Chains A and B, each alone.
Chain A
């Protein structure tokens, strides 16, 4: 059985269910639970649900400490950029402790952060900064693109014994989707094939999954069959599903809202070039944001970002390009 709810409600449903299931799960952060009407506060009380000051270093650092002491905190960070204020805690504390202790401690926590709010939020609240974290051993990085995944990946993140950066896309917030009822877990490291196809593989993340599917639909009317893969988690990354698809199609287009060298696509392109080169019939094509800070004004903002037309153009390019020497 399933029910249709918005992406944001699916995230909250997962947190709620996990808090019911495990009393060690905490939920704290800025601007939550400020009145007695707050549903989390009502359900779980002020021990487990707390509003914090604007103190990201303390919020995330306290989550590390509470996790070391055996609890499972979920930190509400709102904007992914707010993690930058506390980068040391995210990168150099949370993921290091287990390793440095030789496995004697664990740090189960979830950093819930929205990203990619490219709707006029200008330069400092619109970034797609997940790749700042994918190169940090010990961290896991999750990018749900549907309401069902938003629920299932959050539940898995809370049960994971490692620090997890859970990046939800702001432009998906009110997107409705079918969400399984009750307990629902989406395993980490399992990509979703969102659309099957034989001519070209498109790998897209987050909000770009929808753009890629729309492009694939339009391409189908031209007789081009595109396979669309959503990795869902960047760490761990399901490279096998991508390589298997590239083996079938011989062509790869990567779509990523981040700038080229700060994207997940650059790393996936490198891995496919290293492990799947012999399958490729054309050079890999990356459709990423252009290298600039996101501007405020709409036409400039749109100019920088990947869209259906850019994805379709890239697909035409890999299909029309000269084959790579086998």
Chain B
């Protein structure tokens, strides 16, 4: 009896054509699975507030109150007047790179009278930072109210500073209050504002690196399950082709067997 192999059946033009068809169908299924996974991500909902929409600072935080996670790292806008003579240079600061430099922090008073620390910008060059400090302290803003936008950041801890040497490197609001010559009579915001861009009169400064916080998202689990389902279906499509070829092979083997049996019978 001649054994009829699986591949000798599978190699027939008919079954190759079926295989091509099956692979096309499996490809479509796989594409549908990919589409479902894309939808799972696209339909995902951001948990928590939209941190990128600038909101009035007064609506978000209250002076003399602690900052919680729903306020920190959100973009805000606020009308402020800078206080000359209270601008502080923080040394040894990193800003989106390996280089250490100076951060210029101004004392600003909002339109409601509360004090707010504003990080104007950063420079690797001490002269640039000092020029910005001098310009502000010389009254370049003339105590006029100006609208600023930036990211509201939580105050840093004071530990990084080396007070005895007159070096300050932590952007700690509590520490700054002690440095400011104008007392913050209207209360102080517990965080500081990192400006989106340095003011025009301090153009030599670079913007403070305050990126959008990592967002927590909820993916749509239903779409993920559908995605997995389509992958399984494309596997099933290929399996069905194998099953159909195997059936034909078995059927032919059976036919050959019967013919041989009949031949054996007529011989006797």
Are chains A and B native binding partners rather than an unrelated pairing?
no
